[in-house]
Amino acid sequence: MRFLQLHLRSRRVPLALATVTALIALAWVLSLAYSDSATINARTASLAIMLAVVAVGSTLDGADGALDHTMAVNWPVRRAGHLLLAAAAITALLSLSMVTDARYEPFAVMVRNTAGLLGLTALGATVLGAGLSWVAPLTWTLIAVLPIMVPSRDLTMQVAGWLIQPAGTTAATACAVVLAVTGLLAYAVRGCPVRPVSETSPDQ
């Protein structure tokens, strides 16, 4: 239990969880205040989820990158568990809206978007490091929520704008699954790049 507490604190998980909760709650409050619809629209929900996974991205690396690659710890399992728990936490927070007058739904779309964006964030962390893991989800989300992006039968549009496609859209679901699985496997196996000692040591 002590190790778990130290692990969570070293990765700033409590702060990230508070940030995720605040962002999802803020989008819900704004929708409740400024919209007459009982459903939070896909664009607003996608932006809220994107900001939530960006906050999670900051927890994907610890203060000591070399320690995260030591063979003394089964890091692939821990990394995979970290991502899965993050996905569960975001999904659980979104699900709380189901008992209110402004809901994140269809819930299948919320799960799809959370999984896909979290996988994209994990891929970003694997390639660029946790500090830049936000670049890919932010870029793709901003493209997907553009006014020119609409639910469509066109395959290119379904992939580019997968975040706003209706539940059951095969191409959008496939895109999210590929991102989620690829991100999970890449991050679990490789983790974040090890930063040079000069980047992690305090200034002298």
Higher pLDDT, 88 or 203: 88
Predicted pLDDT at 75: 78
Q: Is position 16 within any domain? A: yes
Q: Is position 58 within any domain? A: yes
> Of 152, 126, 154, 123, nearest to 140 (Cα)?
123
Predicted pLDDT at 181: 97
Residue 35 predicted with pLDDT over 80 = no
Q: Is position 200 within any domain? A: no
Q: Is position 204 within any domain? A: no
Higher pLDDT, 201 or 1: 1
How many residues are recorded in the chain? 204
Predicted pLDDT at 36: 75
Residue 37 predicted with pLDDT over 90 = no
Query: What mean pLDDT do residues 10-31 have?
Result: 88
Beta-bridge partner residues of 103: 39
- Label residues 80-106 b or e (16+ Cβ within 10 Å = b): bebbeebbebbbebbeebeeeebbbbe
Higher pLDDT, 119 or 203: 119
Contact 152, 89 (CB under 8 A): no
How many domains, the chain?
Answer: 1
Q: Is position 112 within any domain? A: yes
Q: Is position 70 within any domain? A: yes
pTM over 0.95: no
Residue 124's identity, in one-letter code, is G
| pLDDT level of residue 200 (50, 70, 90 thresholds) | very low
Query: What mean pLDDT do residues 51-76 have?
Result: 75
Average pLDDT, the chain: 85
Contact 134, 124 (CB under 8 A): yes
Per residue in 67-97, pLDDT tens? 555 655 677 888 899 899 999 999 999 999 8
Q: Is position 114 within any domain? A: yes
Peptide bond into 106 cis (omega under 30): yes
Residue 143 predicted with pLDDT over 80 = yes
Boundaries of domain holding 73: 2-194
Q: Is position 174 within any domain? A: yes
